[in-house]
Amino acid sequence: MAMLFKSGAGRTEWWRNELTRLEPGLDFRVWPEIGDPTEIEFALGWEFPPGSLHRFSNLKCLCSIGAGVDHVFRDPNLPPNLPIVRIVDPWMTNAMSEFVALNVLRFHRYDPEYRRLQTDGIWGEEVPSPDSTTRRVGIMGLGVLGQDAAAKLIPFGFPIAGWSRRPKTVPGVESFSGAAGLDALLARTDILVMLLPLTPETTGLLDRRRLALMPKGAAIVNAARGAMIVEADLLAALESGHIAGAALDVFAQEPPPKDHAFWRHPKVVLTPHIAAITNPSTASPQIIDNYRRARAGQPLLNRVDPSVGY
Ligand code: NAP
Ligand code: GLV
């Protein structure tokens, strides 16, 4: 049985070392050096070319090398009934919560304003005092990442609300769901954190109408996927001042074109899709566990539901 690997972010030798340390003798094949396609029973990777998985007649499992699986479902010709799993890793979850906390605190503590004052050489200009008990944080997506981010923000004192497909009971978090729930969440949110999967339902979700529902001066942290925001509508909201700032880790096109306004926008903090990168050292044990389960015909960990796309 061979494992076919296609990297999303380099690190091939790191992956090879971790996986073969846990499973000595693993037949680890790196895309596009496939060998005999009938020997491939487990595929681990990012963005296998559409239609390519049909070549592997004995494929038992496709494992996304990240938490997200939108890259998997972009393939309109996925083999039917192919079990799909994803990475759920406490190390990665914590990395995401660090990113979220960094940027929520950045906006909460008026950091963009202080950067402007520093650039202008101004000392001591009056900036309002931040009060975490009145700064309302809203989290779109209350799954693995959203719930951990909420748990780590609660001790600061922020009133936290979250939005999910199904209503949820999460300690310390006001729960919203459904389309009306999203409008209500946005209307009460000063700092919005986006941690949803990209699906047909979430594509283009944050558009002009929904941005306008947010209070004037609100900020946005998008660590999910760029295509959830209508970027032209966000730019217009930043220009008008309705949205005060955005920390964007993800973009509709990655990297954004060189002339994209986000690159040099004074109200945008841009990072290159690094909020939570899969760590081969911490993620490999669950991959090998699933590799063994797939071979043995046992239930897989972290399975994705193709009917909802995440
Ligand atoms: P997850 O555990 O599957 O949670 C997804 C959450 O989104 C759930 O609460 C789900 O609602 C909610 N949701 C899905 N579709 C919805 C809809 N149509 N309306 C309302 N809520 C909806 O996913 P996760 O592990 O937290 O990861 C979330 C996303 O983060 C990933 O899909 C990936 O795109 C992104 N990510 C980005 C990075 C980065 O470096 N930038 C790293 C890792 C992950 P229910 O609870 O009702 O199911
Ligand atoms: C990264 O974006 C991931 O989905 O893991």
pLDDT tens per residue across span 208-238: 999 999 999 999 999 999 999 999 999 999 9
Does residue 304 line the site of ligand 1, with CB under 6 A? no
E strand segments, the chain: 2-6, 27-30, 40-45, 61-64, 84-85, 137-140, 160-164, 173-177, 191-194, 218-222, 243-248, 268-270
Per-residue pLDDT, 3? 98
pLDDT in tens, 146-174: 999 999 999 999 999 999 999 999 999 99
Does residue 201 line the site of ligand 1, with CB under 6 A? yes
Q: Are strands 27-30 and 137-140 parallel, antiparallel or unpaired?
A: unpaired
pLDDT band at 75 (very low <50, low <70, confident <90, very high): very high
Per-residue pLDDT, 208? 98
Task: Say whether 54 is catalytic.
Answer: no
User: 110: Cβ–Cβ under 8 A, 6 or more apart, which residues?
Assistant: 127, 128, 130
| Distance between Cα 274 and ligand 2 center (Å) | 9
pLDDT band at 127 (very low <50, low <70, confident <90, very high): confident
User: Which ligand places an atom closest to the C-alpha of 65?
Assistant: 2
Q: How many C-alpha atoms does 73 have within 13 Å on its Cβ side?
A: 17
Q: CB-based burial of residue 34 (10 Å sphere; 0-12 exposed, 13-18 middle, 19+ buried)?
A: middle
Atom of ligand 2 nearest to the CA of 278: 5
Q: Are strands 173-177 and 84-85 parallel, antiparallel or unpaired?
A: unpaired
Sheet holding 61-64, edge to edge: 27-30, 2-6, 40-45, 61-64, 84-85
Question: Is the overall model pTM greater than 0.85, yes or no?
Answer: yes
Rounded Cα gap, residues 96 and 221, in angstroms: 12
Does residue 68 line the site of ligand 2, with CB under 6 A? yes
Whose alpha carbon is nearest atom 1 of ligand 2?
66
Task: Say whether 71 is catalytic.
Answer: no
Confidence check: pLDDT of 125 > 90: no
Residue 172, CA distances (Å) to 102, 132, 140, 166, 195 in order:
20, 15, 15, 17, 18
Rounded Cα gap, residues 194 and 140, in angstroms: 5
Phi first, then psi: what are they for 110, rounded to 5°?
A: 55, 35
